[in-house]
Structure 1
């Protein structure tokens, strides 16, 4: 059985400040580093040792993946890919939830945050994003979850899925909104189901995949009571 370990990064400095992060390159906090190390220990205890590991290009995801891999007895390289970056939040990036609601209204902000097809407005200055994509690629500027999923699909088709010819267990460290979008694909969920999906930070989400690379079973590793309480939240 092929296994894919999805992992949201640990707490970042922007998470702590309740800011929309998107492609802003925020690092992990001390708590985020500890969460990432705990995720690595959970995987090691469960005998789930990744044979290939990927993360987005953003620092918080890379730091999380590196902390996990440092716990593993089998040392493997980390591969990064910009297509695994978080959903680009356009003009919401760097704003607190309160600042975004004051500018656009809470209803609009929640729609952009929660639903599958709504995209936030673009940022006036998106120059920083150009440094995070290969030459010749136009970076996104305000993405819906659907657009985020389509962007990541290229990575799945070109890198992740072919690698199952050689590896049984792969790790993908990324971001909550990108993982929400991917969960719709892997679990064959209707688009509206994304409105109820949340992803706990630095909590290994194990997906057992069939021959079509869809999940036949999925579960989180860790304190099940805490995880269950987190999963009852709605995306904020």
Structure 2
């Protein structure tokens, strides 16, 4: 079982959200910390135990992982993994959605959301990310918690050959679960669920 978590909120209520990627290391807001705490309480209530915990090295993902693990005594510490780091939004880094849309257009953004096709100027390292997810999925690590970002999480779906009817986006403070069946085939149990 692979539980994939997107970090909590990094923008205060009323603050316009911006495209924040690998180059901007924002901490969680109070609301983001509450989301991470809710995830930890949720996983503890479901008696989820993890044998391995991987997290992006960015502050927002490390804080999310730490808050979750505070609810799971005996869980291993989070291992920093660079391929879980957020993508680089290039010229759109730190820009609001209207600014991003004005530069790349709605079609390019829709292609990113539906198929992880990066808009011009974004650096995603898709091949590296897909290969890393596939290597993880092919191993026998036991229940694994991964704490990452929206840009990186979508490549888990591609690597596993899974589709989500509502789109690839993983909302802040939410999680998805990919399970391996007895036949070895990966299946999507949940995606973008907030506790």
When residues 179 and 143 of structure 1 are mapped into structure 2, their CA distance, relative to the original with a 3 A threshold, is: same
When residues 116 and 80 of structure 1 are mapped into structure 2, their CA distance, relative to the original with a 3 A threshold, is: same
TM-superposition CA deviations, 1:35-57 (whole Å, max 9, x none): 00110111111111111100111
TM-score (norm 2): 0.83
In the alignment, is the contact (CA less than 8 A) between 2:10 and 2:60 conserved in 1?
Answer: yes
How many pairs were matched up?
Answer: 192
- Written as runs of structure 1 = structure 2, the 5 A alignment for 1:25-174 is 25-102=25-102, 104=103, 106-107=105-106, 110-111=109-110, 113-116=112-115, 118-122=117-121, 142-143=122-123, 147-148=125-126, 150-157=127-134, 161-162=138-139, 164=140, 167-174=141-148
In the alignment, is the contact (CA less than 8 A) between 2:130 and 2:159 conserved in 1?
Answer: no
SS at 1:196 equivalent: coil
Which structure's residues are more often helix, by fraction? 1
- State how far apart, in whole Å, the 1-side matches of 2:112 and 2:128 are: 18
Q: Which has the larger radius of gyration?
A: 1
**Deviation for aligned residue 1:158:** 5.1
SS at 1:68 equivalent: helix
**Deviation for aligned residue 1:109:** 5.0
Q: 4+ runs of 1 displaced by more than 6 Å?
A: none
- State how far apart, in whole Å, the 2-side matches of 1:63 and 1:176 are: 16
- State how far apart, in whole Å, the 2-side matches of 1:115 and 1:222 are: 21
TM-score (norm 1): 0.70
